[in-house]
């Protein structure tokens, strides 16, 4: 797919725009549904890059649908089962085809349900300072990319575009959404992660960590929403590069946007918009990396 096929920003005239997120454009369909369009935008360090990643939105949608289907017995998800093309005009179909989901409108919980099976990213930095992550104490002597004794729930606040998500403790989560709901989210999120991680490992992929988002339906029931287990919201490591990276204390090679993060970390940039311009080779490598993850999972 070449760059002329990219969709950086959708422009529908038949539906009201609700919000543009870092990656997705959400449109109202009546008062009970949302058309979510996955653009080819890429965000890193909570800043949207200026260059689209060709094919990314379609890939994210295909992967999310794959995981929603595999995990539907653990918790309900927000998919309506309806064709997204059925709610747009003919001249808008090209912006929607293959990259959209028609979903229930829910009351979103104000947290990101992060589950970590390995020590990486902000979790590794926090561990070095406190030997814990989000208030969860961890054993001494762990190294970058180390597997944790068991997956841990490390929630974060949701940030607006351009702002940074912030890790919070379980007590803060309870204060935000209530004790019972916090316990339910933690239990469901860990089950989702463990189920997905076991499948991915059987396909030669380590899911180091991921984040889930949940909302409540009209019956006040917990529903999995947004995207799920894509390279945008997860760290995917191929098993064959893991042991060497672990021994070196380095970030393992990945099927996610760590490639972009590593390139950005080497630039003179304060992690605020605008981001440095991504070179063509970084864009191409990122697109290829996402495609590899999809193919390897069998999605």
Per-residue pLDDT at 161: 53
Per-residue pLDDT at 173: 96
259-296 pLDDT, tens digit each: 898 899 999 999 999 999 999 999 999 999 999 999 99
Beta-strand ranges (E) seen in 56-176 are 100-104, 107-108, 111-118, 132-133, 136-137, 147-153, 156-157
* Helices and strands: H and E segment counts in the chain: 8, 15
Contacts by 138-146, CB closer than 8 A, 24 or more apart: 143/119, 143/246, 143/249, 144/119, 144/120, 144/246, 144/249, 144/250, 144/251, 145/118, 145/119, 145/120, 145/208, 145/237, 145/242, 145/245, 145/246, 145/249, 145/250, 145/251, 145/252, 146/118, 146/119, 146/246
Average pLDDT, the chain: 94
Per-residue pLDDT at 243: 97
Q: Taking the domain 108-258+293-297, which CATH number applies?
A: 3.30.470.20
In which residue ranges of the chain is CATH 3.30.200.20 found? 10-105
Per-residue pLDDT at 257: 83
Calpha distance 25→58 (Å, rounded): 13
In which residue ranges of the chain is CATH 3.30.470.20 found? 108-258+293-297
Residue with tokens 């490992």: 201
211-263 pLDDT, tens digit each: 999 999 999 999 999 999 998 899 999 999 999 999 999 989 999 887 898 89
Per-residue pLDDT at 267: 96
Q: Which positions of the chain have pLDDT values less than 50?
A: 1-4
Calpha distance 133→124 (Å, rounded): 8
Per-residue pLDDT at 261: 87
Per-residue pLDDT at 200: 98
Per-residue pLDDT at 164: 64
Which pTM was predicted?
0.92
Per-residue pLDDT at 259: 80
Overall CATH class of domain 10-105: alpha beta
């Amino acid at each position: 797919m070449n760059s002329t096929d990219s969709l950086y920003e959708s422009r529908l005239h038949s539906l009201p725009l609700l919000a543009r997120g870092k990656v997705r454009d959400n449109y109202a369909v009546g008062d009970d549904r949302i058309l979510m369009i996955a653009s080819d935008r890429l965000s890193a360090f909570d800043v949207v890059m200026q260059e689209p990643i060709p094919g990314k939105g379609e890939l994210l949608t295909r992967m999310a649908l794959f995981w929603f289907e595999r995990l539907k017995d653990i918790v309900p998800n927000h998919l309506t089962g309806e064709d997204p093309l059925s709610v747009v005009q003919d001249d808008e179909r090209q912006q929607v085809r293959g990259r959209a989901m028609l979903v229930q409108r829910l009351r979103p919980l104000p947290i990101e349900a992060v589950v970590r099976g390995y020590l990486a990213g902000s979790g590794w930095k926090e561990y070095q300072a406190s030997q814990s992550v989000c208030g969860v104490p961890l054993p001494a002597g762990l190294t970058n990319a180390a597997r944790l004794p068991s997956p841990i729930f490390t929630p974060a606040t949701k940030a607006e575009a351009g702002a940074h998500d912030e890790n919070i403790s379980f007590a803060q989560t309870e204060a935000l959404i209530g004790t019972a709901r916090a316990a339910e989210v933690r239990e469901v999120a860990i089950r989702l992660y463990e189920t997905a991680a076991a499948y991915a490992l059987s396909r030669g992929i380590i899911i180091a960590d991921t984040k889930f988002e949940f909302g409540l339906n009209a019956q006040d029931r917990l529903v999995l929403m947004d995207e799920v287990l894509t390279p945008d919201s997860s760290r995917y490591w191929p098993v064959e590069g893991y042991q060497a990276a672990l021994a070196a204390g380095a970030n393992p090679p990945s099927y996610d946007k760590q490639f972009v993060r590593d390139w950005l970390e080497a630039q003179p940039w304060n992690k605020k918009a605008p981001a440095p311009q991504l070179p063509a080779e970084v864009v191409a490598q990122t697109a290829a990396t996402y495609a590899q993850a999809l193919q390897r999972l069998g999605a």
